[in-house]
């Protein structure tokens, strides 16, 4: 073989060091950006469970990745061509027991992760109501071009780009879109679900603490997509009741003609508060694509 290689071990050592630095950087990053790492430090039960599953699977996977890393470095180093001490056995190309081990070990591990996944998928199904002693609250979310309309059917109010709800109360979001597809996501509270025109999806979330959380659309939906953010505020029950009462006094009201206006493409992302004057608005929006005689 043409030996065109000068020893490059020092460079490999350097890349090893870079690798270690980058790996070390990760805890440091976690430390520096602590308050911004929303997924690892969630404020709701669902988010917490999802985070825990993430860390569990990650830990199980590391049981494989770490040995692979070590073997990669050790084998490459010890069996380098100019190491006289290492054994050379060109006929070792098949070993039934060894192969049985590395078909078997990943199999056992993967089956374990699969079982966990199966049960956790059922447990954390976004459609599954959250068990709580408080009554579940319903909020209907509509992705428009390019802002979010929220309808509180029981309270008879509606908002744009802002939601408020009491903490420790389970919330069921019913989600649709009167726009290209979007995804409804409040990372602090838990995972996302798509918002699709002509269809309703559901998402059950709960906030364990008060605070203002960032919500956004997570699926490209056109020009104003980057600004499709909203504030989700979890407050105490009293604050929430006060807020609902104040919105009910709002001088803006939402009915079909007003809805037709706000459903037009717009990059105005300001918060708006409405009294709701149309009972079945959410249903009408979903059915807009289904029946020609829809009111919208």
Partner 1 sequence: MFGNLTLEAFQHDFVQTMAVMGGVVNGVLLIALITYLKKWKWLWNEWITTVDHKKIGIMYIVVVLIMFLKGFADAMLMRIQQATAAGATHPFLGSEHFQEIFSAHGATMIFFVAMGFMFGIMNLIIPLQIGARDVAFPFLNAVSFWLFTAGGMLILISLAVGHFSVSGWLSYPPLSGVEYSPNEGVDYWAWSIQISGIGSTFSGINFLVTILKMRCPGMTLMKMPIFVWSSLCAMVLVIFAFPILTATVGMLMLDRYLGMHFFTAGGGGNPMLYFNLIWAWGHPEVYILILPAFGIFSEVVPTFSEKRLFGYASMVWAMIVIAVLSFLVWLHHFFTMGASPNVNAFFGIMTMLVAIPTGVKIFNWLFTKYRGKVHFTSPMLWFFSFVLNFSVAGMTGILLAAPPVDFQVHNSLFLVAHFHGMVIGGVLFGFFAGFTYWFPKYTGFFIDERLNRMAFFCWFAGLLLAFMPLYMLGFMGATRRLDHYDPSTGWQPLFIIAALGGVIIFFGALIQFLGLFWSIYKRKENRDTTGGNPWNGRTLEWATHSPPPIYNFAFIPTVNQLDPLWADNPPKEEKREYQDIHLPEDTPVAFYIGTLCMILGFAFTWQIHWLGILCFAGILGLIIAHLSEKEKHMTITAEEVRKIEESYTKRQQTA
| Binding to partner 1 in span 180-199, by CB under 8 A | 180-181, 183, 185, 187-188, 190-194, 196-199
Residue 247 CB, nearest distance to partner 1 (Å)? 25
Residue 105 CB, nearest distance to partner 1 (Å)? 8
* 80: contact with partner 1 by CB under 8 A: yes
* 266: contact with partner 1 by CB under 8 A: no
| Binding to partner 1 in span 224-253, by CB under 8 A | 224-226, 229
* 89: contact with partner 1 by CB under 8 A: yes
Q: Which of 18, 24, 245, 256 binds partner 1 (CB under 8 A)?
A: 18
94: left (phi over 0), alpha (psi -120 to 50) or beta: beta
Cross-strand partners of 186: 190
- Please, which residue, 83 or 132, has the CB nearer to partner 1? 83
* Nearest residue to 6 (alpha-carbon basis) of 99, 75, 82: 82
Residue 251 burial by Cβ neighbours in a 10 Å radius (0-12, 13-18, 19+):
exposed
- Please, which residue, 63 or 245, has the CB nearer to partner 1? 63
For residue 263, give every residue at least 6 positions away whose Cβ sits within 8 Å of its Cβ, in sequence order, or none.
144, 145, 178, 296
Q: Which of 13, 24, 220, 271 binds partner 1 (CB under 8 A)?
A: 220
**248 φ/ψ angles, rounded to the nearest 5 degrees:** -65, -20
* 131: contact with partner 1 by CB under 8 A: no
Spatial separation of the C-alpha atoms in residues 98 and 107, rounded to whole Å = 14
The answer to whether residues 172 and 154 touch, using CB atoms and an 8 Å cutoff, is: no
Question: Candidates 18-26, 136-144, 164-172, 247-255 — which segment interacts with partner 1 by CB under 8 A?
Answer: 18-26
- Please, which residue, 179 or 262, has the CB nearer to partner 1? 179
- Please, which residue, 159 or 221, has the CB nearer to partner 1? 221
The answer to whether residues 128 and 247 touch, using CB atoms and an 8 Å cutoff, is: no
| Binding to partner 1 in span 39-58, by CB under 8 A | 39-40, 47, 49-51, 53-54, 57-58
What radius of gyration, in Å, describes the C-alpha atoms of the chain? 27
């Amino acid at each position: 073989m043409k030996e065109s290689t000068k020893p490059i071990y020092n460079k490999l050592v350097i890349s090893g060091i870079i690798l270690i630095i980058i790996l070390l950087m990760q805890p440091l990053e976690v430390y520096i950006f602590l308050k911004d790492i929303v997924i690892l430090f969630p404020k709701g039960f669902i988010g917490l469970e999802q985070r825990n599953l993430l860390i569990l699977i990650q830990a199980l996977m590391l049981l494989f990745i770490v040995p692979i890393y070590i073997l990669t470095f050790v084998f490459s180093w010890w069996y380098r061509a100019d190491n006289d001490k290492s054994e050379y056995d060109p006929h070792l190309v098949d070993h039934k027991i060894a192969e049985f081990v590395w078909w078997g070990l990943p199999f056992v591990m993967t089956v374990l992760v699969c079982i966990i996944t199966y049960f956790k998928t059922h447990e954390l199904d976004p459609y599954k109501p959250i068990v709580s002693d408080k009554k579940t609250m319903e909020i209907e979310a509509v992705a428009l071009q390019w802002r979010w309309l929220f309808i509180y059917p029981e309270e008879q109010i509606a908002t744009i780009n802002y939601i408020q709800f009491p903490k420790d109360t389970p919330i069921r979001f019913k989600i649709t879109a009167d726009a290209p597809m979007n995804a409804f996501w409040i990372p602090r509270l838990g995972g996302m679900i798509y918002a699709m025109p002509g269809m309703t999806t559901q998402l059950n979330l709960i906030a364990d603490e008060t605070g203002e959380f960032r919500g956004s659309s997570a699926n490209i939906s056109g020009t104003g997509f980057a600004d499709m953010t909203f504030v989700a505020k979890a407050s105490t029950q009293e604050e929430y009741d006060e807020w609902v009462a104040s919105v009910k006094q709002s001088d803006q009201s939402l009915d079909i003609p007003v809805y037709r206006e706000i459903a037009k493409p717009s990059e105005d992302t300001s918060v708006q508060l409405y009294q709701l004057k149309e009972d079945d608005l959410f249903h009408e929006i979903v059915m807009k694509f289904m029946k020609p005689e829809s009111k919208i």
